Structure 1
Amino acid sequence: MRPLVKICGITRVHDAMIAAALGADFLGLNLFPRSPRSLSLGKAREIADAVRGQVRTVGVFVNTPSRELMAIMDTIGLDFAQLHGDEWPDEVAVLGKRAIKVFRSLPVTPVHIARHPHVWGFLVDTPSAKLFGGTGITWDWRGLREVRSPKPMIIAGGISPENVRRALTESAADGVDVNSGVEVSPGVKDPRRMKMLFEELKRGRT
């Protein structure tokens, strides 16, 4: 089965439609104001509406109170919320299977996973004290290989067409989250590199 693919940091309808046509499973819309790829609610809704029914949309949030977050999700029509902050397990649980919890500290342990039994899945990203995703920096994917999770495990951080197959092989992850690896500048996707990514994935893991 092909790994799950999330193209994150989408800021343009055109890019969203290309990613959906290529076969992306998820599109990430950044709603963290301090991100260079941050979107207004109106723009996020425009993008989500353009691809509705073709691909699932994921809002990227950092420490947004659960009540406010759910209202934003309903306004835009998002399928999932990706939680990049230090959200308490009780806040994450409110979202249930609409939540994707991000781990930004390594190693990921069974304790981390057990704290969030209700989520759809997990995303493991490059540790950073200043950035909440979109670092463009890789990490040692082999550290995830022995982690057992009953939910999908997705990896992020510096993934590109050039290393995606190796990343999946070394991590044994269920999918990848790709952002800067398919961009020409923050928030502007390169159709050629997105196509390269999916062509590499068709070749299978290394």
Structure 2
Amino acid sequence: MKVKICGIMNGETARKAVEFGADALGFVFAESRRKVSPRLAREIIAQLPEDIHKFGVFVNESKQRIQEIADYCGLTHIQLHGEESPNFCKEFTLPVIKAFNIGSHSDLELVTEYACEGFLLDSPKGAYRGGTGISFDWTILQSAILDGKRIILAGGLNSENVGIAIRTANPFMVDVSSGVETDGMKDLDKMKDFIFAAKQ
């Protein structure tokens, strides 16, 4: 199972995540308590191995700004969390991951309108577009409507429930942010436990 640690804000957390076995790291450029500047993201990414995927998280940002940040920082994937259209998602040379907030089976219909590299399925949105620490009903994802789609499962995951989530939803990757934090900061022990549990 592939694992993404999102909301990376410093070099030590990034290096430890890689050491523990993370496959991808997420850098938030949208309004969030985990927002980082392009300059900081670039400094952290410069320290990382080539084969680690570096996702940039954006919400309703312009194509030009996204491309500028992606090029400057050395991102490998663009993750879109806003109301971006199917056509907008096709305008990038980098792989695009489109995020959707899932509250019911009907929300999956929207996913089928997009042709993207992958789809991050998260809990219904709170104050921000993600990182709420709340999970949704993973059995929704057993619907055949998503067959052939590369799914990244997010929302309320932690080391205790990630195994059940993987068995229930059968995603391509799991994504965690608040589930490996203590007092709003990444907790290295929780991060290590989560990656180990997911990989098991």
TM-score, scaled relative to structure 1: 0.90
Q: Deviations over 1:83-142 (max 9, x none)?
A: 000001111111255210001144343x4333222x210000011153210001111111
Residues 153 and 174, structure 1, Cα contact 8 Å, conserved in 2: yes
Match of 2:160 among 150, 162, 166: 162
Displacement over 6 Å in runs of 4+: none
> Which one-letter code corresponds to 2:99 in the other structure?
V
**d(CA) in 1 for partners of 2:146 and 2:93?**
20
**d(CA) in 2 for partners of 1:125 and 1:96?**
25
> Which one-letter code corresponds to 1:55 in the other structure?
I
Give 2:175's aligned residue.
177
Match of 2:26 among 22, 28, 38: 28
Question: Per-residue deviation at 1:193?
Answer: 1.0
Match of 2:64 among 52, 67, 82: 67
Question: Per-residue deviation at 1:43?
Answer: 0.5
Match of 1:199 among 193, 196, 200: 196
Question: Per-residue deviation at 1:72?
Answer: 1.0
Q: Which runs of 5+ in 2 are unaligned?
A: none
Matched, 1:14 2:17: no
Q: Which runs of 5+ in 1 are unaligned?
A: none
Question: Per-residue deviation at 1:158?
Answer: 0.8
Q: In the TM superposition, what are the counterparts of 1:117-196 in structure 2 within 5 Å?
A: 117=115, 119-128=116-125, 130-146=127-143, 147-186=145-184, 188-196=185-193
**d(CA) in 2 for partners of 1:83 and 1:91?**
10
SS at match of 2:195: helix
Tell me whether 23-32 or 177-186 shows the greater mean CA deviation: 177-186
Matched, 1:87 2:84: yes
Residues 62 and 85, structure 1, Cα contact 8 Å, conserved in 2: yes
Q: Deviations over 1:11-50 (max 9, x none)?
A: 0100000111111111000001x20000011111111111
Q: How many residue pairs end up in the alignment?
A: 197
Question: Per-residue deviation at 1:149?
Answer: 3.6
Give 2:75's aligned residue.
78
Residues 96 and 120, structure 1, Cα contact 8 Å, conserved in 2: no
Question: Per-residue deviation at 1:174?
Answer: 1.7
SS at match of 1:86: coil
Aligned-residue sequence identity (percent) comes to 37
**d(CA) in 2 for partners of 1:155 and 1:96?**
24
Question: Per-residue deviation at 1:4?
Answer: 1.5
Tell me whether 49-58 or 74-83 shows the greater mean CA deviation: 49-58
SS at match of 2:46: helix
SS at match of 1:94: coil
